[in-house]
Amino acid sequence: MKKVLIVRYGEIALKGLNKSYFINKLVNHIQANLADLGRLHVHQAGGLIYVDMDEYDQDEVIDRVIKVFGIVSVSPAYKFDKNMDSIYEVAVKHINERIEEDGIKTFKVESRRGDKSFPMKSPEISRMVGGYILSHTEGLKVDVHNPEIILHVDVRDKAYVYSKKVYGYGGLPLGTNGTAMVLLSGGIDSPVAAWMMAKRGMEIEAVHYHSYPFTSERAKEKVVDLARILAKYCGNIRLHCVNLLPIQKEINEKCPEEEMTILSRRFMMKIAERIAIKRQCNALVTGESIGQVASQTIQGLTVTNNAVNIPVFRPLIALDKVDIMDIAKKINTYETSILPYEDCCTVFLPKRPVTKPRLDKILQSESNLDVEKLIEEAVKGMEVIEVSVEE
């Protein structure tokens, strides 16, 4: 008898002739997430993926595997030879473990006979196993409508017994939908946006803007910490740190005060696009949500979009702030995001920022600046930090 983790995928099952490509990606990412724990055997068969985890920390293995995008759920299970005597023995062993761990009083057995040559059909297996458990345990009852646990018996290449199901995040394996450059601030929204696009299979790079020395080194380290948390889901992240202060000074000196935010935003998009093209990224990703702040009105987003030519993905655009915060808490970025460090967007913050900017007026103001020179100098002076999963 061995301990294994049964891994289920969802949307991948619909991929037709490309399914094996997605499954191989998924297996590779599971192996990568477990690599520093040891040489765990990961393989796929019969529409499921299995991780052999006999001598390894089960909770640690589960915690790492469910962070792999594309996985719908996992179940720790016992794997053994498929005969009824062994099924009875393992079923009672597992039920006793759940009684000791959780004090369960009721149960139900559900069976699946994947191997059609097995002599008993699924309902008969459930009935026989349920009866055997009742006759070999005390104080336990069957409840077919609302049981505390469901004991699953799967008969495939081997027999599998399990009763727990831990849910993953679904989505698609990383690297199956190109690469995106995320505008990563130290706030709540952009890490969530990065996570959501990675969940759809996009590999992630990031660009962060600071206004050093008006913003501190600790503010930049906070963003590195956020990238480190994201790396547990998204794999290694290349973080490009750009000092926006020289551009902000030029805007402050030569353009109307109320346009500072929207003009700064256009420069951020242009610089991100420049780095994205150089790095062969397919799109930009922002954490903007319609109506959340002055620059995120429909007029503001239209003017911002005009600054670039590559696609801009805004996965949070229709989410309320509370919804975004809930996701941030779920993926463990929230507590880091709310640390009170400076943000480049608060430098030269206008008292009354324009909320309905007109593109012609913004372009007129922008013509007062040497845009190309400012972008070139910003990119030339950027710092690149490689944030890895192992950190």
Kindly indicate the confidence band of residue 55, based on its pLDDT and cuts at 50, 70 and 90. Answer: confident
pLDDT at 137: 93
pLDDT above 70: residue 391: no
pLDDT above 90: residue 291: no
Which pair of structure tokens corresponds to residue 347?
């430098």
pLDDT at 357: 93
Kindly indicate the confidence band of residue 72, based on its pLDDT and cuts at 50, 70 and 90. Answer: very high
Q: Where are the domains of the chain?
A: 1-80, 82-157, 179-387
> Measured between alpha carbons, how far is 141 from 136 in angstroms, rounded to an integer?
12
Asked if the domains at 1-80 and 179-387 fall in one CATH topology, the answer is no
Superfamily (CATH) of domain 1-80: THUMP domain-like (3.30.70.1510)
Give per-residue pLDDT as tens, 188-224. 999 999 999 999 999 999 999 999 888 888 988 999 9
Give per-residue pLDDT as tens, 301-350. 999 999 999 999 999 999 999 999 999 999 999 999 999 877 777 777 77
pLDDT above 70: residue 183: yes
Give per-residue pLDDT as tens, 93-152. 999 999 999 999 999 999 999 999 999 999 999 999 999 999 999 889 999 999 999 999
Kindly indicate the confidence band of residue 286, based on its pLDDT and cuts at 50, 70 and 90. Answer: very high
Which residues define the annotated binding site for ATP?
183-184, 208-209, 265, 287, 296
Is 344 within 8 Å of 208 (Cβ atoms)?
no
For the 82-157 domain, the top CATH level (class) is alpha beta
Element (H, E) at 303: helix 298-305
Does this model's pTM top 0.85? My answer is yes
Residue 227 has φ and ψ, to the nearest 5°, of -65, -35
Which residues define the annotated binding site?
183-184, 208-209, 265, 287, 296
Looking at per-residue confidence, does 391 or 322 come out higher? 322
Is 75 within 8 Å of 119 (Cβ atoms)?
no
Kindly indicate the confidence band of residue 54, based on its pLDDT and cuts at 50, 70 and 90. Answer: confident
Percent of the chain with pLDDT over 70: 99
Going by CATH, does the domain composed of 179-387 fall within 3.40.50.620? yes
> Measured between alpha carbons, how far is 24 from 56 in angstroms, rounded to an integer?
23
Give per-residue pLDDT as tens, 4-14. 999 999 888 88
Which pair of structure tokens corresponds to residue 352?
């009354």
pLDDT at 15: 84
> Measured between alpha carbons, how far is 166 from 293 in angstroms, rounded to an integer?
37
